[in-house]
A and B are shown apart, each in its own frame.
Chain A
Amino acid sequence: MAETWQVMAAGVVPAANKSMLGIINAAGTSKVIRVYRIWIMNNYTAAAYTGVLSNVGIYQMTGLVVGTGAAVTPVKHDTASGALDANVGIFAGGTVSGEGNLLRWLAYSYDEPAVGGATADEFGMLVPVALYWDTGYADTRLQPITLRSDEGIHIKWITNVTVGTVDLMMEFTQASS
């Protein structure tokens, strides 16, 4: 069983074409990173804001640096696992280069959830429902997103909205091959 890691970027504010969360397996790496699951959680519980039905894309890319964003530290599922390869970078709000193929296109009901609510906004609070990528997890016939040297993916918020926040989570493994 490969070393497994959990990434959580909490309270990320969207913006037009913003890289909300990305992972790059930069040149010099000795590992292969495999991304199994990605969640976008509507965990906002503060004051109401004017929501906007938004588009979000999951893209391949070949470069990611922190820029004006922030590094996100992943957590090992097993404390006895080795360290993450130093060439693996994970950033929220980072600067992307070499954006490539679109893997998935989403429409996201971006508005604050409410107690007693029964809308898509509240669906976004539910972990099983807010799972936007899980290829390769429950079906070993399919490959997860495999990141080799100078390969990465990021979750890009397309729509122009700069209020509220979402939590983004990613689950991945690190292996020698």
Chain B
Amino acid sequence: MANTWTAAYLDVAVGLANKSMADLWNPTGSGRILKVYRIWCLNNYRAGAVGGGLNIYQIARITAKSVAGTPVTPTRHDTTLENWAATSCTTHYASTVTEGDVLRRFSNSSDELAIRAVTNIDNWSSLPTLSIQWDTGGYDGAILQPIVIRENTGIHIKFVSGTASVGTLTTVIQFTSE
């Protein structure tokens, strides 16, 4: 079974159009192939009323990462396997990247969550079951390819636009390195 990782980009501020909210980059010479199986993008905003809006995001390939943003360290599922630094791959948010092909668009709400609230899109956007934006790889064995990231490529989740540039997004990417 391949070395499996979870990278969590917690509470990244929404706001700038075309902001890279989470990236996964495989540099030249890593000797690794990364395979992305699942991506969750969650509205976990809890810090009071924010007047959020509906936002559009996209999952896209990237062909370069010219300026690395804030680093995130993925967690390996098995501590006996190699650590993240050994892979030479990198994960950041708010990087400057060159975007390639777009794989998927999705939307969510960035309005604040509320306890005991009427169930609505603001709260639905916080539920992992409903906020899994990419889920390819198949449950019953290997049917469809995951997103395969070879050397000198990567992927990112980009904030495209929104009706209110407030709130945050939590992105979780589940992938393997082989």
Say whether A153 faces chain B, with CB atoms less than 8 Å apart. no
A45 and B146 within 8 A (CB): no
Asked whether, in the complex, the Cβ of A122 is within 8 Å of the Cβ of B124, the reply is: yes
For residue A83, CB closer than 8 A to chain B, the reply is no
28 example contacts (A-B, Cβ-Cβ < 8 A) are as follows A3-B145, A8-B102, A8-B103, A41-B107, A43-B56, A43-B105, A45-B53, A45-B107, A45-B163, A77-B136, A113-B121, A115-B110, A115-B111, A115-B121, A115-B163, A115-B164, A117-B120, A117-B121, A118-B120, A125-B107, A125-B121, A127-B133, A127-B135, A128-B132, A129-B130, A136-B143, A137-B138, A138-B139
Contact B122 A116 (CB under 8 A): yes
B145-178 vs A, CB cutoff 8 Å, 1 = contact: the mask equals 1111010010000000111100000000000000
A176 interfacial contact with B, CB 8 Å: no
Q: Give per-residue flags for B93-132: 1 if the beta carbon is below 8 A from chain A beta carbons, else 0.
A: 0000000011111111111000000111110100001111
CB of B54 closer than 8 Å to a CB of A: yes
A118–B148 Cα distance when bound, in Å, is 36
Question: Is A77 in contact with B140, judged by CB distance below 8 angstroms?
Answer: no
Which of A61-69, A94-102, A165-173 is near enough to bind chain B?
A: A165-173
Q: Which residues of A contact B27 (CB under 8 A)?
A: none
**A contact set with B: CB distance below 8 Å:** 1-4, 6, 8, 10, 36, 41-43, 45, 75, 77-81, 113-118, 122-123, 125-129, 136-140, 167, 169, 171, 173
Contacts of A80 in B (CB 8 A): 148, 150
Contact indicator A78/B148 (Cβ below 8 Å): yes
CB of B141 within 8 Å of the partner chain: yes
Interface size on B, as a range, is 35 or more
A2 / chain B contacts, CB cutoff of 8 Å: 143-145
The complex places the Cα of A6 from the Cα of B36 at a distance, in Å, of 14
Asked if residues A127 and B132 are in contact (CB atoms below 8 Å), the reply is yes
Instruction: A8-B102, A80-B148, A126-B124 given; name 19 further pairs at CB < 8 Å.
Output: A4-B144, A8-B105, A36-B143, A36-B144, A43-B105, A45-B163, A75-B101, A77-B144, A113-B121, A115-B54, A115-B122, A115-B164, A116-B109, A116-B120, A116-B121, A117-B121, A118-B119, A127-B106, A128-B129
When the two chains form their complex, are residues B56 and A4 in contact, meaning their CB atoms are under 8 A apart?
A: no
B52 on interface, CB distance cutoff 8 Å: yes
With CB as the reference atom, state the residue of chain A lying closest to B134: A127
- Is B91 an interface residue, CB under 8 A from the partner? no
Complex interface: chain B residues within 8 A of A137 (CB)? 138, 143-144
B5-37 at interface with A (beta carbon < 8 Å): none
Bound complex: CA A33 to CA B111 (Å): 41
B102–A126 touching, CB < 8 Å:
no
Most buried by B among A2, A8, A36, A123: A8
B61 within 8 A of A: yes
Q: Which residues of A contact B131 (CB under 8 A)?
A: 126-127
Let me know if B142 is at the binding interface, CB within 8 A: yes
Are A140's CB and B141's CB within 8 A? yes
